């Protein structure tokens, strides 16, 4: 029987172990649009960043699509089992990288690109529609009947209709085909079992019905998963962002719920509103119910907030956050509910590691999580102030004076250009 002394330490270790298990998720995107060009390989390069990410409290890192691809970035995959032909490095280098993250308690998400697929060769019609799985056997070796029948450029007309939007550059895969569902699930489970991945980032989920995402979630049981459902926000005739984006965030919540509720979604609503708000329109950051106006104000446990990614920012800049206001953005998402995601470029290339690290430390220290409460105290054009849970108050905006909104028993925990965060003493 354990002595009381040993029981005490067993209890302390058990509690600390459970606390480590239960630490709220904090995501990091571990690549950008140009990472595949890295000399010596991206996987090998990123391994050097593991200590910095562990110190910043990152719990999950999102890695690029791992398979052979017709496009260097990985988003036009073909031989899905062939991880040796990736521009980011080979299979062993990927496994070593994942192992390095695991040694520091960080889980790894694979970028799952399954809406479409590039073919290995042409069929008798001269059309690129013969797929090769990347193994000596016939796993994922498909023909034109595995393509959605309405994708007429590639299909032979025998597949099921597409359940989502068409992706023009490559054949859309028929996810209603039971063999597709089984073989893709087997591949994803192989990524977990043999390669070491813990979860998924689903690419272009608009390309197939949310019920399909639910099938892959159910068949693979990821530790964490997030879907990319990127729809345009609502704009007025003057080209200005409409103040009310309820339909946009409702569509995100509806997708999550139709996909079974276990998967999360990138909060594109919050990104769009926040990047407009920091341009002297901070009144946008409160909805008609007094809550945050993005998905985090509707279904925060399902939201992954972010400032930029490899599409919106990086060298593509398809929808970039104002570059001089990025830290205001992080001050917002790292103190607010949802699961925040930090972008590689901002953390490392922009030299914001220390500033962002102070915010992640405040988040961890105060137990701010995906379902934390937000009380909005000010929402003027040049000042937004909010109290989070019972221990943190934050402000963003050019206005310096916050009046009596911060009680005397709070002290500044960190501050920077047009942002400040206070903690209860």
Residue 117: count of CB within 10 angstroms of its CB: 29
Active site residue 203: yes
Using CA atoms, how far apart are residues 218 and 263, in angstroms rounded to an integer?
A: 10
How much is the CA Rg of the chain, to the nearest whole Å?
Answer: 23
Q: Is 290 exposed, middle or buried (0-12, 13-18, 19+ CB in 10 A)?
A: exposed
Rounded to whole angstroms, the Cα distance separating 370 from 300 reads 6
The residue from 111, 132, 228, 418 that is catalytic is: 228
Q: Which helix (H) or strand (E) holds 67?
A: none
Quote the CA–CA distance of 67 and 86 in Å, as a whole number: 6
Residue listed under structure tokens 């034109």: 144
Q: Using CA of residue 71, residue 74, residue 80, residue 85, what is the dihedral sign?
A: positive
Number of neighbouring beta carbons within 10 Å of residue 135: 15
Whose CA is closest to 178, among 186, 170, 189?
Answer: 186
Which one of the listed residues 93, 151, 172, 203 is annotated catalytic? 203
Specify whether 228 is catalytic.
yes
Q: How many whole angstroms from its chain centre is CA 194?
A: 23
Catalytic positions are: 203, 228
């Amino acid at each position: 029987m354990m002595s009381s002394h040993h029981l005490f330490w067993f209890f302390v270790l058990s509690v600390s172990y459970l606390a480590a298990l239960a630490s709220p998720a904090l995501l990091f995107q571990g690549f950008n649009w140009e990472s595949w060009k890295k000399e010596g390989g991206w996987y090998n390069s990123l391994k050097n960043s593991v200590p910095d990410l562990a110190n910043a409290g990152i719990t999950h890192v999102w890695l690029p699509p791992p398979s052979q691809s017709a496009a260097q970035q990985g988003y036009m995959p073909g031989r899905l089992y062939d991880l040796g032909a990736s521009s980011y490095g080979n299979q062993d280098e990927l496994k070593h990288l994942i192992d390095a993250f695991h040694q520091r308690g960080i889980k790894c998400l694979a970028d799952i690109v399954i809406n479409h697929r590039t073919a290995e060769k042409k069929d008798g019609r001269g059309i690129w529609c013969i797929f090769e799985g990347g193994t000596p056997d016939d796993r994922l070796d498909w023909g034109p009947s595995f393509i959605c029948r309405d994708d007429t450029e590639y299909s032979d007309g025998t597949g099921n209709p597409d359940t989502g939007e068409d992706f023009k550059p490559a054949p859309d895969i028929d996810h209603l085909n039971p063999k597709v569902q089984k073989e893709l699930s087997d591949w994803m489970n192989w990524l977990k079992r043999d390669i070491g991945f813990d979860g998924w980032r689903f690419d272009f989920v608009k390309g197939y019905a949310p019920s399909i995402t639910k099938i892959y979630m159910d068949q693979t049981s990821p530790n964490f998963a997030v879907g990319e459902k990127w729809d345009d926000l609502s704009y007025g005739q003057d080209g200005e962002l409409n103040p009310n984006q309820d339909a946009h965030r409702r569509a995100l919540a509806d997708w999550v719920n139709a996909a079974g509720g276990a998967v999360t979604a990138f909060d594109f609503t919050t990104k769009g509103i926040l990047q407009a708000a920091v341009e002297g329109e901070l009144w946008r950051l409160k909805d008609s119910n007094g809550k945050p106006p993005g998905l985090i104000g509707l279904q925060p446990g399902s939201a992954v907030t972010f400032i930029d990614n490899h599409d919106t920012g990086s060298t593509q800049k398809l929808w970039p956050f104002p570059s001089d206001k990025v830290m205001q953005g992080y001050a917002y998402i790292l103190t607010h509910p949802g699961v925040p995601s930090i972008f590689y470029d901002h953390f490392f290339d922009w030299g914001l590691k220390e500033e962002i690290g102070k915010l992640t430390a405040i988040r961890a220290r105060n137990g701010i999580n995906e379902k934390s409460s937000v009380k909005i105290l000010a929402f003027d054009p040049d000042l937004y102030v909010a109290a989070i849970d019972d221990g943190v108050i934050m402000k963003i905006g050019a206005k310096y004076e916050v009046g009596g909104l911060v009680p005397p028993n709070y002290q500044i925990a960190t501050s920077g250009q047009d942002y400040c965060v206070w903690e209860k003493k």
